Structure formats: structure tokens, C-alpha cells
Structure 1
């Protein structure tokens, strides 16, 4: 049997006298074979050979590239259900595509009957009936049952318990095989989906580019069929000239059908709205769906962003063209990334093999330890067993000697036969002791050793649990930053912890950056500190008046974990002033107690205050006790913070001229009336109207957990009392108070040291040295904010040595 296009070869017993002439060779191939004119030179032959070989190589490279491109493109044209070329693909709500026949089959497998309607209103073809169907149009191969079973058993699209004819409309869900998720088709099912005509055209062009077969035959001819010359979209069939005239008679409505080129895939002229059978003219950006004029005015799309199809077409085309141009213009980058990925694949294979060997070695090590432990435990049991057997054997021998006529009993019977009394006494004394011990052992019989080995039982529950839970080491979970202990003062103190049940971390990486600086183009740049041990760190030299964002992540042998949530910290508005409390003057040692580190002071009025009253068990005057800082400010800006005990009766925190403070408080009487207030500062604001010069003092008054602001102070702070802006008011006492002194401007600000929210700002006479001051009336306590640098924590300097991400 001869294969068409092949040559038949027959054997002849004798060589033919007239052999067939040899095919003529092209000059290039003749030169390559060494055939040429007798006078041709070797140089010419070499040049011709090189040119032909280069041409042949370029042609083969082009063919390989075309073949590779076709194969790669073919993957995009395969249905994910049947793994064949798309035929009448439908666009699912998740933007993936599936063949219409495959979609009907999937819905039928799920029990949705009657919801696989034709999504497009196309006219019936004369070739659609069984009697006239062309043998070339074979039925579409449906997806294999096993593939559908795997798709449906994966858990997608199965909704048991649905009932037809329920009160609520049935929601049809379709398991998308591409994204492995359930997509809602609505009440109409497949009838509410659009056909992807663009994809159909691409598939048809691809088929035509790779097909090597013959022409398309007429679907209406009787065998033998003629070659089709025309196609009809309305009839959905291909015709030869005679059949086209036959099925499109003159003077009928079919005569108005426009012929097209012959094809095996017929599509409607345009997309029609599934709901209204109208041509789609607009695109809803909100729903991301094509709509017609009737859909546009429906309540379903009220308030949505709707644009004409022409605008959406141009916008999407420009975006796609721009993206495609960028990709085509960066082919070298794509190739470089492919090489990098291939190198990563090789490294993955090597690393995977190394990981397997490491796990095998560790498990073998565990096995060796278990085997060694097993041998030692068995040896211990063996020694215990031999010891018990030896003791029991000795006891058995001892009891056998008590039998009649043997052993000790037989010897005693023979001794009793002795008649010589002195000799009997000499021999029987020792024998009697042995007989007495044997008698006692006989009366209190008990085995010399226990036969139980319960003390040798092993409890391997914990070990079995550990071995069962034996798994690969996981990276540490995202740390949790302790916002109660993290704060910014002269330095930034950062504290964190790992969540419960998190794998351990060998060290941590801290990343930080300022957020109040202009953003640089490109990715966000973080300063980084690596291999930080412990769960706290100090960040030195932060910029004043800035906002830092910080995050932490842990690392172990498995790699780096996730970052913690970002934490924003405000740094003080000025450099921190370090000072101690000076108790050498202006204080009563009976009423004020300063701590050893000179950072805390407590006012305890006690018995002396009561004895100073005119009469006991009556009201008395209150004293004013003052404590100053041991450092005075003469220039620049300074900031410090303190915490006031909420139970304090009355405490004044502020600053003042050192000379005026000494003059006012050292000359003040020891016991004064509550109406006497040496403070002429701006805690009340009553003197603003009469005194134009800046006051020498500026204090903030705190009493019983509240900050007391006068009328002028509340107005300056932007606060409003119950009776209006002119009335005094109180605000809650924050955990820490901050004082910022601007010596050049002659201004002092009181802040919430936690949120850095302004509480009060007032003028101050800075004609001389200014020092911090604290006044007490009654009981109270003040604790200065301890500088962060005194904490014995790991230091991480913010400077030029920071590693940028």
C-alpha cells in the first residue's frame, strides 16, 4: 500500500540500463559537495560553502523560533476542562474562558438542568440538522468523565440541599477550573454570559497558520463534495457556488445574506446583550461588563461609571499596546530573568538534595542515639536480672539444706549422735546458731528478690509526642512591639516579644525610617540593623522633632520571618536636658524626701505641719516647698519630662529665673496662707492684662489627677470651659508631662510627653539663667524621666553607618 506523497521502491534483479537521471543540485550544494567546474579554485568553493551554511543555519533558527512560539501560544488557546482548542468560548465572571460544551457538561454533572442555554442569539443553520450535517463537521469532543469527576470532587461548585422551585431564585455557581474558585452565573446560567469572539478569531488564525490540510469542503454537497467557495454567517455553513445559489434563492429573505470566506467556525457579527438581545454600546466600569442602551438606564447600573465602548476600546487598547511595547522592548531583561530562574531551579535541586541528606543524617543520628540508649537500658535490666537470680539461687540452696537427711539438717542429726558432752557442746554451739537462723527464715519466709521488673518500665509518652510533632523548623512569627515600654526620649527605646507558640528566633533585624521627610522616587528606603540579640534595643542619636516608623522581624536557621506591625514614634521637639534635683536650699528636710539618685522627690507634710498650727484639731495653713534642678539653661532649646503622682494635692511644674526663684522662695515664710501664691507665672493668666513684661516664672498646676488651667491659659491652649472660653477648665493628667524651653524666643511649652500634644504655651523672662522648678503644697510626688541611655540595653546608632535597604 502506497502512502500518498511517498515514493514506491521496487527491487530489480538486474541493474537498469537506463537509470533515472540524478536530480540537479543547486550551485551552493554542489559547491558544498565538492562538485564544480574543473577550473574552479578552492577559495571560491570555501566562500560558497560558508555562505550556504550560514543561510541554512539562519533558516533553521527561524523555523525553531516559529515552532517554539507556536507551541507556547498554543497553551493559551487550550480549554482548561477538555484541554483542546477553544470552540465557542464563554467569558466567566472571573474573566477566565471555557468552551460552551464543556460548561454545559460541568453544569449537567452538578445537577443544573436547563441552565446551559445558548449565550448568543444566532440563527439556525441548515447544516445543523442531522440529515444535512456535513461529515467534516464532526461533533465536538466532550470533556472526559474522569476529568470532570476530578474537577467536581475537588470541592468547588458542590452545593447540596438546593431545591428547584424554591421561594428565592436559584443561584447557579460554576467551578472555574482556572482559578479553582466558584463563580456566580446568576439566574440565567450560561445564557447570561458573553462569547469571547476575539479568542475565537485568534484560534481560527492559529489553526490556519499551523494547518497543512486541504481546502474546506461544501457542507451541502452530496458525495463527492466540492470545495467550498463561500460561507454564510446567518446560515452557519459553507457552500460551493451551486449550493449557495440553491439555498439562497433570488427574491427571498435569504438572498440578502452576505457571503463570507469559507470557514468552519461561525460567529455572530457582534456581541449582543444576553438580557435584551440588543447590541452592546457601553461599558460599565463598576461592574466591568458590557451593557446595551436598555441596561444603561436600568436601576441595576444606577450610579455606576459607564463609558462608551469606543472610549473603553481605545483606553484598553492603548494600555495593552503600551504594556506589550514595554515587554517587547525588554526582551533582554526577560531572557536574563529566565536565565536567573533556570539558575534558581538548579540551585533548588542542589539545595533540595542537600536538605534530604541533612534530614537523613539527623534521623540516622536519632536512630543511633535510640539504639545506644536501648543497649544501655537492656544492659541495666540484664544486670538486675542476674543479681536477682543469684540471690534466689542462694536462697534455694539454703532451703534445700533444711530437707531431711541433707545439708544442715543431716549434719545436725549426726551431731546429735555425739555422746561426749564436752565435744558436743563445742560442736553444737555454732550449729545451734545456724539452725536458729534457718528456723527464723523458715518461719518468716520471703523470697530474697522480687520477680517484678516494674521499676524498669519506660514512659515514652513525652518522647513519642515529640517525635510525632517532629517537623521542619519554621521561621519566627511576626514579633509584637510592646507599645507600653517603647518610647522616645534622648534615645529611642524599642521593646518587643514573640507571640506564644512561635518558633524561636536566633537574632532580630530592626528597620526604621523617618516619615516626615520628602519621599524619594523609587522603593521605600529603610535603615537597617541586623543581628540584634535580645528583645530590646536602643536607637541612638535620633533627630529631634521627627516621626520615626519602626518594625522588627526575627530570624533563625529557617530564614527570616514576617515584619511586625509598624510603630510610629515622635521624638522630643528639642534636645533632652539632663539634670538632677538639688535639695541644698529652699527645701525642708522634714517635709521633702529626695531619692538617692536625685531623680524623684516626695512631699510629706506630716506632724510638723500640724504642730505649726495655732491650735490642734483645727485647720492650718499650708507650706510651699520648692525643689530646683541642678542645671540652668542659658541658651538654645531644651526639653525634659517628668511624671506627677495623680494623688498629689497640689504640684506646680515649670521653670523660672534662678535668681528670682531663690529670692522669692528663700524669703517666703515657712507657713503661709493658701491665698498667698508666690507664682507670678502663667498658670492662671490673670496678670496678662496688667503686666506686659514677660514673667520670671512659668508653672503648670496639677491637682488630684487634673491639670488646672486658668482663663488665659485655657484660651492660649485652645480649650473651652463649661462657661465659655473665659472660664477656667481642667484636663486629665497624662502619664508624663513634657516641658520645652526656647531660651532665645523666651517661650516655654508644656506638652503631653506621650502624644506630644500641646497643653500650654506662655512667655518667660530669659534675661538670666533659667532652671527647672517644682513646687509642692501638701502631699505629692514627682519622678523625673530617666534618660534612655542609662538602661543597660543593646545600642543601635542612627547615623551614617546605617545599611540601606
Structure 2
């Protein structure tokens, strides 16, 4: 929110308290005129996105006329397009500072009118025209000469009033400049907040991509190692099944040989030594898998260290501290620059 009114405090070269104060108040009054109704802003004052002000009634009148254009109208001061949401004019923010300044201005105007009618309570025919600096109260000339303020320091009431009015105007100007500075800092921090959100989104995407790469590498490596286990398993199964077939063939031949031996025992013409030689030749040279051939313990991976490393994956603290210090430094620069500019004004 920007509270700038556009008036300047009285210059150092102004002659007399009334000259600078009167010109400043006149300039202030010009800044409090609504560009639509050309009268002083009426409560509540709304601030447009372009930072210009309107009476809410005037803004609502414009909105009602332009409502068939989708709630869009142009600022009467700068022609900037204003887009209202479903709340219409009531969705615009009130400019409380301008309202307070108008109240103060009107109070001063009322005080100025009342000043002409103020009469001394003790000297009913005497107007209050001086200000007692010692007691800090308005009084009349008779009170200074014969009354309770005869030993006090006094000054012309109009001079004191104009000086206080000038001081108040200067205070308003300083307050407006301070609000400009605060608004600039807020805008900068809002921009930084937006940048933080955008950087956070990018870093989340980057982190997710990094982990996806790690998962892809693990999946690829898993498939490779699973393939090696499967390959050796198939080779061992092929070898063992080949031996099973060989032993099955031998078993079948042995059964046949037994049957032949039984038949031969009934025929005494076949030499027994020949029969035993055949049986011995049938039972020799039978291959068997070596001890532990079925074990697959050679496929063992030690993942303890890798597991701990994965569980302890973290961000680089040095980089985080560097980013934090960089952001903090940028905010300090903006603050000091804005502060110096405000002081120079």
C-alpha cells in the first residue's frame, strides 16, 4: 500500500511562519481533492492498484457504469486499468492515512474558525489573541498586563498557531515519507518472498530429479546383478540336469544289466568273470557335483555403508548458510538505501 500524497514540506527560505504554512496547507488541500467529484475525499477513501485515491462512492459510481465491461475501469488520474474482483469496490483497500489527514485538516480549519470567536473568560470583552509560552495556554492582552500571566513569556496567538500548524504539516510530510520507505521495504520483501517460493519450487524439482537419477541407477544395477545370478543359476541347473540325465541313463542300463545277470545265472555257459567285468565297467566314472555346488553365496553385496550413506543424504550446510547470508545482506542494503533516501528528502 502506498500512502504518498505528493505534497512537499515548506522550504527553508519561506518568510514568516504564515507564508510557508499557508502555502503548504493550500498544497495539502489540493492533494486531498477527489479527481472525480472535485471535492475533498469523503470516508472511506479507497486506494487503487496504481496507488491513486478515490472516494468509495465515486469509485462505486464508476464501477456501476462500467460493470458490463467485466468490472474494469480506468483510474481517472493515470488511466491505469483497474480490475475488480467479485467484491467490487468493497474489495479495494481503505487509505486510513489519507482519512486521518483529512480529519486533522478539518479539525484545524474548524479551530481556525473558532479562533475568531474565542473571548477571554475573565475579560469578556477581550479576544484571546496571545499565547502564554510559560503556561502553554491561549489568553488575552489584559491577562498579560493585569492578570495571572503578567510575569509569563507570551507570543502572538496567530504566530504560535501557524508555527504549530507548520510543524504538524512537516510531521505529516515526514510520516508520508516514512510510509513510502516502509512500503518500499515491504514491496522488496514481497518480491523476495516470491523469489523464495520460485527458488523453493525449482530446488524441489531439482532434488526430485536427482533422486530419480539415483533410483534409475539402482534399478539398472539391480537388473544387471539379478541377471548375473540368473545366468549362473541357469548354468548350474543345466549342468546338474545333464548329470541327472546321465545317471538316469546309467540307472536304466544297470537295471538292464541286472536283469541280464539274473538270466545269465541260469545259463552256466557264460563265464562269470566276463559278467563281473561288464558290471564294473557300468558303475565306474560316474560324475557328481562337487560339495557345495548348489550354493549361491558368491552373490553377496555389502550394502551397510551404502545404506548409511543414503540415509544420511543431506544438503550442504555451507551452501545454505551462504544463501541465507546473501539474502540477509540484500535486505540490509535495501533498508539502508531507502533510509538514506528518506533522510535526504
Question: Hey, which of these two has a bigger chunk of strand by percent?
Answer: 1
Both proteins in one fold, TM over 0.5? no
**What TM-score do you get using the length of structure 2 for normalisation?**
0.38
Structure having the higher helix fraction is 2
Give TM-score, length-normalised by structure 1: 0.18
